[in-house]
Structure 1
Amino acid sequence: MLKKLLKVCAVFMIFFKCAASIRCFECNSMNNSMCLDPTIYDKETINNFLPITECGRGIYSANNEFFCRKIIQTILHKGYEPEVRVTRSCGWVRHHRDCYKADNEDHLETVCQCFDNECNSATVRKSALALVLGATVMMYL
């Protein structure tokens, strides 16, 4: 009995970690110019100066899937040159399109979402269902 319980606990610990955990860049080009385009820097420089956060650490929500988001804003100042800002962060409410544009009175915006660690674009992983099924099977072993 104890062996079964330990197996189930181990599977659920993996389930919580895999289902909710994704690493994303967390920055704003207003205070960190590396946020504009991290791909031009080597891995060591990125690791030292561009923060990466683990989204939803230890939290699982059946309704939300954590992902990475990148927002490019062109801020339109009247009488001045437009200013481009990039924000990279975690997201949890998914848009129906992976990228979309918004044209507002004072700024233009492109928002993209992706589903892999430190990503720019990727496909969604569907490992949560497999883990739940695996836990159920292990309960009966």
Structure 2
Amino acid sequence: MIGALAGLAARFWFAFPIIGLGIALLITRGTLADVKDELHKLQQETAQVLLVIREVADNPRLKWVDAGKQVRAVGDARDQWKRTSDAQTAAVEAMEAETARMRKVAEARQREIASLVRQRDRLATELASNRATNRLQAQEELRHVEEALDSVFAAGL
């Protein structure tokens, strides 16, 4: 049996390289088909990416060569917007804090004014009632209260 195979091999020695070449061509053809399919998928994905970049950049004539620069420009614009937004947020928060502080100051001033007005009204009532009080002292105290009220109003309330 081995001798018969050896005889066949010696007789058809030229067929072995052709069979090997045929097998190699079949494998290559299958591999090329796979590569072609993958290349087609990659082209579709690239086209989709370029369309999205064009839309985001509002540049319908953008070429693939310039897509990287455009993406960086969009990223830089986003970063600039973020910095501006953060700065504005910080400014608004500072204004809110200042508003709260000023509200507390205004409330304290209003309490002070209310106290001074009550004191003034009390002194004016005492003077008007003509009771046996020290009129000079009451008038002097009333003048001080009115000066304090004038200074509070002059300060901005």
Larger Rg: 2
More helix by share: 2
Structure ranking higher on relative contact order (CA contacts 8 Å, 6+ apart): 1
Q: Normalising by structure 1, report the TM-score.
A: 0.28
More strand by share: 1
Q: Normalising by structure 2, report the TM-score.
A: 0.26
